[in-house]
Chain A
Amino acid sequence: MAELVGVYAASHGPMIVRNWKILAPAEKESLTSAFSELGRRIKASRPDALIVISPDHWVNFFIDNLPAICVGVGEAHDGPPAPWFKEFPHRKMAGHPPLAEHVVRTALERDFEPSVSYKLALDHGFCIPLWKAGLDPLPAIVPVIFNDLEPPLPSVRRCYSWGAMLAEAVASYPGNLRVAILATGGLSHSIGEPDMGRIDEAFDRDCIRRFENGDAPALFDFLNERLPGAGNGASEVRNWVAAHGAARGRGFELIRYDPIPNVYVGCGFASWKIG
């Protein structure tokens, strides 16, 4: 049977790449240190496959057909198409169709209805953490896209349930496989909104405390009340909630948090307790 060997989260703001040259030294140090530690932990867990939960930033889907949640079951995924991210070293990334298809089957058996894609391009949401964490060679990637961008969005509670279901799918996978989960995005940020560039550090720190103590219902209440005021990008905390569900709400260890003004994002990195 497969084993869940790690559950992680990382911010993914595109300015981490696009603005890298103009970041302040302290900002670079913070991000480099955080990604390095994240990468160290992921590599130490030796995953054969990595389920990555991230939004799609208008690369694969549009408002003519916008899934709430989509699982990528393809044999390979394309690299990020953005012209500013040509440095990313992988034009193709291996998928893991048997695990991805098992996730889809498990989802349907448990009354979830994911969209399914055989052909995805993975944008910066996936690729910045994979790249900056130094995961090379990459494990096989099973992308799970959450719609965190265009309302109506999946509920926080449903995202938690999705994460719990993903853990069940891993546990019931009939193969000898080490699987980790990486949620990307968040914490607070605002893009294309009147408060663009604002980082809600108070929200971020409150949010982190609630993830740390592991009380899922209290986390849901907090997020339902405070997410709408933390910038549209904070909606990506839903992915962290899914990771929390995968770890059965046992709480997490913060790797690093810093508000990074030149990235526009409250940048957080964490790994969950799964033992």
Chain B
Amino acid sequence: MRDYWLSKLFFDLQSPAVASEYRADRGKLLDRYPLKPEVRAAVEADDVAALSRLVNPYLLRFYFLMAGMPEADFLRRIRATASTPAGASRG
């Protein structure tokens, strides 16, 4: 099951203008999306494992690339989800 508004946020961030705005003031842009509190907290914490259960894996990968997380860091975090009980959603 996908989280619609989280998916919409990640989808919209493909726009360079929106991405630029996000990098400048993450909180202000997040205010436009009716994210559940726990989902917003996961975004603010760069919680790859939690977010991986809520969005398409391609959007997840795009988001952290856009957000500037180093590739090695993202790979380490996403690979670590294999050992968590819920794992990551398959796309």
Contacts and interface: CB of A to CB of B under 8 A. Distances in A.
Interface of A: 57-59, 62-64, 81, 83, 149-151, 191-197, 228, 232, 235
Contacts of A151: 90-91
Contacts of A64: 4
B2 interface: yes
Nearest to B84: A194
A57 B78 contact: no
B61 A83 contact: no
Contacts of A59: 14
Contacts of B81: 194
29 contacts: A58-B56, A59-B14, A83-B16, A149-B56, A150-B56, A151-B90, A191-B57, A191-B58, A191-B91, A192-B57, A192-B59, A192-B61, A192-B78, A192-B88, A193-B57, A193-B88, A193-B91, A194-B78, A194-B80, A194-B81, A194-B88, A195-B79, A195-B82, A196-B61, A196-B78, A196-B79, A232-B57, A232-B58, A235-B91
Contacts of A192: 52, 56-61, 78, 88, 91
Contact of B7 (A57, A62, A235): A62
Tell me whether chain A's interface is mostly helix, strand or loop, or mixed.
loop
Contact of B14 (A58, A195, A232): A58
B56 A193 contact: no
A150 B91 contact: yes
Q: How many B residues are at the interface, by size bracket?
A: 20 to 34
Q: What are the nearest 8 A-B pairs in CB distance?
A: A192-B57, A194-B82, A192-B61, A232-B91, A192-B60, A194-B81, A193-B57, A194-B88
A197 B88 CA distance: 15
Contacts of A83: 16
Interface of B: 2, 4, 7-8, 11, 14, 16, 52, 56-62, 75, 78-82, 87-88, 90-91
Tell me whether chain B's interface is mostly helix, strand or loop, or mixed.
helix
Given A58-B59, A194-B78, A196-B75, A63 B2 contact: yes
B90 A193 contact: yes
Contacts of B87: 194
Contacts of B14: 58-59, 81
Contacts of B75: 196-197
Contacts of B91: 149-151, 191-193, 232, 235
Contacts of A81: 14
A57 B82 CA distance: 24
Contacts of A195: 79, 82
Nearest to B62: A58
Most chain A CB inside 10 Å of its own CB: which residue of B2, B57, B75, B81: B57
Nearest to A196: B78
B61 A194 contact: no
A57 B80 CA distance: 25
B82 A232 contact: no
Most chain A CB inside 10 Å of its own CB: which residue of B16, B56, B59, B88: B56
Nearest to A82: B14
Contacts of B59: 58, 192
Contacts of A62: 7-8, 11
